[in-house]
Amino acid sequence: MTLGGAIGDSLGSSLTVRMSGAGGGWSALSLKSSGRIASLSQTMVPTGYTKLQEERLAMVDLGAKPEAASLQNGYRQETSLVESRRLLDRASRSSVTLSDCGDGGYSETEPILEEEEVDEEEGPGSAVQNMPKESLLAMALQILLPFLLAGFGTVSAGMVLDIVQHWEAFQYITEIFILVPALLGLKGNLEMTLASRLSTAVNVGKMDSPIEKWNLIIGNLALKQVQATVVGFLAAVAAVVLGWIPEGKFQMSHAVLLCSSSVATAFIASMLQGFIMVGVIVGSKKTGINPDNVATPIAASFGDLITLAILAWISQGLYKCLDTYPYVSSLVCAFFMCLNPLWIVISSKHPASRTLLYSGWEPVITAMVISSIGGLILDKTVSDPNLAGIVVYTPVINGIGGNLVAIQASRFSTHLHFHCAPGEVPDEAKGCYYPCRTFWGKGANHRSAQVLLLLVIPGHLIFLYTIHLMKSGHTTLTPIFMSVYLAAAMLQVFLLLCIADWMVHSMWRSGKDPDSFSIPYLTALGDLLGTALLALSFHFLWVIGDQDSDVGD
């Protein structure tokens, strides 16, 4: 029979698909295409997987048994469904527009999984064996430089926060401190999620086609602007509510200023970091570096500094206008909110971003709420003059923990996209979770967890001494302070890596894409754990007599 419909309409008369079969199993497949269509199709196929596709076609042409083709990593599908979806995937590669890719049911994860769902017996051409191999040294070196770069970015953010805490806006509108973890957490909610999605797309060959690459980039950037604006507004609402509950005080002018500052900061910072992130992903692909190792920490390297500097500048500027031009704050908020329809239209043009436009809000909003709770802890701790030293270290411990766990989550996600069908997890991830599973083993992800955990103490020592040499902060680096601080940092990262192992595999088992769902939760938990453990550490230091709070002054 001749297959018409979407395939025939998209490819025209130059491509005819002929199938024949009995009993639901297809026994022959032939493709007739013109030289122009064949050339276009070849440019759209990832070069690293050309051999795999040729072997698949050869198996089908030779009449491979349906039973062998339908069993993929232990996940059995109807043969006719497998073949028809493979054809639809080929047809989608010939799309040259943003909107000609299917309906709203499309997602980035589904085509990726269909490309790589192969039988374990396919041999050298399988996706598992095509996955890039990494030595322990190469992995450590690729992680180390971005980790240090991101760490110095968080140190800079901490030093900026230590300075701006004395500004009028921060002194009289203390709810801004509640905004800080939520807005800094946008790098986990949005930037790192974008980095993880694009890293996975690069690793599985979805960005080898220039057309599909820019479709993914434009759609995801527009989606990120929508999410940044909405999350910025909701973070301000959460800050107002959390600031009002303990004291029962509410000022409308302060609430409007918080909304304007939060929305404007989230929008501008997200746009700047989005452009940087795309450059990092494309550059990593061209230089042969695994983007999973470098993209997420670089996404956070200057993210904290940029976000905090923009927040301080906008908040202080609007605060100065509060008495003479009170309407300015409302106009700023309205301007950025009115841009949302434009970003919605752009993001809806690409099916993958259109799907996330409707389904990607749960992790982003939940993560914002979790980070806001950490912000409330920071606000109450800073209000105690005896604990003022916590300010400079909060972005450091939160940022480092979030960076490390984001690397591991991105690696887990890529591993699952390569090796497992949707809903299936590796044998070692089945059964009840136990912490040793994350660190004990010979797999690449076990080694990366060990490397990430070993980076905590030397990394934080470098950053602590950098703060000390810059004469910032309000705390002397005594042995007892460093011991307590490093213990808190080590416990934070250990817990985050264990949670990441459990969470990523649980989400994959339930059919959710870990690239879009896990990292927001993990970085938000990093903010909450980091702030809470740091506050407990400073309380403990105060109780035992380590009490200096004027070093930076």
Start-to-end Cα distance in the chain: 82
Are 115 and 220 contained in the same domain?
Answer: no
pLDDT value at residue 130: 53
Q: Is the pLDDT at 267 greater than 90, yes or no?
A: yes
Are 526 and 394 contained in the same domain?
Answer: yes
- Are the C-beta atoms of residues 414 and 292 closer than 8 Å to each other? yes
Q: Domain for residue 389, yes or no?
A: yes
Please state the rounded mean pLDDT for residues 536-551.
Answer: 77
Are 84 and 166 contained in the same domain?
Answer: no
Q: Is the pLDDT at 215 greater than 90, yes or no?
A: no
Most confident listed range (163-177, 367-381, 450-464)? 450-464
Q: Is the pLDDT at 245 greater than 60, yes or no?
A: yes
Q: Domain for residue 552, yes or no?
A: no
Are 207 and 125 contained in the same domain?
Answer: no
Domain that holds residue 142: 136-544
Summary mean pLDDT of the chain:
73
pLDDT class of 36 with cuts at 50, 70, 90: very low
Please state the rounded mean pLDDT for residues 240-245.
Answer: 84
Q: Domain for residue 550, yes or no?
A: no
Rounded Cα–Cα distance for residues 313 and 180 (Å): 13
Q: Domain for residue 192, yes or no?
A: yes
- Are the C-beta atoms of residues 143 and 241 closer than 8 Å to each other? no
Are 172 and 311 contained in the same domain?
Answer: yes
pLDDT value at residue 318: 92
Are 167 and 105 contained in the same domain?
Answer: no
Q: Domain for residue 551, yes or no?
A: no
pLDDT value at residue 344: 92
Please state the rounded mean pLDDT for residues 121-144.
Answer: 60
Q: Which has more confidence, 41 or 188?
A: 188
- Which pair of tokens denotes residue 21? 């079969």
315-334 per-position pLDDT tens digit: 999 999 888 888 899 999 99
Q: Is the pLDDT at 94 greater than 70, yes or no?
A: no
Q: Which of 175, 229, 152, 149 is nearest to 395 (CA)?
A: 152
Q: Is the pLDDT at 294 greater than 70, yes or no?
A: yes
pLDDT value at residue 18: 39
Q: 126-140, 392-406, 496-510: lowest mean pLDDT where?
A: 126-140
pLDDT value at residue 54: 46
pLDDT class of 12 with cuts at 50, 70, 90: very low
Q: Is the pLDDT at 28 greater than 60, yes or no?
A: no
pLDDT value at residue 430: 62
Helix, strand or coil, per DSSP, at residue 214: helix
Q: Domain for residue 549, yes or no?
A: no
Rounded Cα–Cα distance for residues 459 and 242 (Å): 33
pLDDT value at residue 301: 65
Q: Is the pLDDT at 292 greater than 80, yes or no?
A: no
pLDDT class of 285 with cuts at 50, 70, 90: confident
Are 366 and 472 contained in the same domain?
Answer: yes
Most confident listed range (185-194, 340-349, 484-493)? 484-493
Percentage with pLDDT > 70 across the chain: 70
Are 272 and 394 contained in the same domain?
Answer: yes
- 3-state SS, 165-212, equals CCCHHHHHCCCHHHHHHHHHCHHHHHHHHHHHHHHHHHHCCCCCCHHH
Residue 491's H or E segment, with its range, is helix 479-509
Please state the rounded mean pLDDT for residues 26-38.
Answer: 40
Percentage with pLDDT > 90 across the chain: 17
pLDDT value at residue 429: 60
- Which pair of tokens denotes residue 368? 């914002």
Helix, strand or coil, per DSSP, at residue 442: coil
pLDDT value at residue 77: 43
- Are the C-beta atoms of residues 402 and 188 closer than 8 Å to each other? yes
158-189 per-position pLDDT tens digit: 888 888 888 888 888 888 888 888 888 776 67
Are 274 and 390 contained in the same domain?
Answer: yes
Residue finishing a domain among 130, 165, 189: 130
Q: 16-25, 342-351, 360-369, 383-392: lowest mean pLDDT where?
A: 16-25
Are 300 and 344 contained in the same domain?
Answer: yes
Q: Is the pLDDT at 546 greater than 60, yes or no?
A: yes
Q: Is the pLDDT at 24 greater than 80, yes or no?
A: no
| DSSP calls for 105-142 | T--SHHHHHHHH---GGGGGGSHHHHSPP--HHHHHHH
Q: Which has more confidence, 517 or 342?
A: 342
Model confidence, pTM: 0.66
- 3-state SS, 240-263, equals HHHHHHHHCCCCHHHHHHHHHHHH
pLDDT value at residue 40: 40
pLDDT value at residue 355: 80
pLDDT value at residue 145: 81
Please state the rounded mean pLDDT for residues 476-497.
Answer: 92
pLDDT value at residue 428: 62
Q: Which has more confidence, 417 or 56?
A: 417
pLDDT class of 79 with cuts at 50, 70, 90: very low
pLDDT value at residue 262: 93
Are 389 and 411 contained in the same domain?
Answer: yes
Please state the rounded mean pLDDT for residues 350-371.
Answer: 83
Residue finishing a domain among 105, 130, 155: 130
Residue finishing a domain among 130, 145, 175: 130
pLDDT class of 125 with cuts at 50, 70, 90: very low
pLDDT value at residue 506: 86
* Number of domain units in the chain: 2
pLDDT value at residue 60: 40
Are 125 and 253 contained in the same domain?
Answer: no
Q: Which of 312, 60, 42 is nearest to 161 (CA)?
A: 312
Q: Which has more confidence, 92 or 238?
A: 238
Rounded Cα–Cα distance for residues 473 and 490 (Å): 21
Please state the rounded mean pLDDT for residues 271-280.
Answer: 85
pLDDT value at residue 96: 37
Q: Domain for residue 338, yes or no?
A: yes
pLDDT value at residue 509: 84
Please state the rounded mean pLDDT for residues 23-34.
Answer: 40
- Which pair of tokens denotes residue 168? 């009028």
Helix, strand or coil, per DSSP, at residue 25: strand
Q: Domain for residue 553, yes or no?
A: no
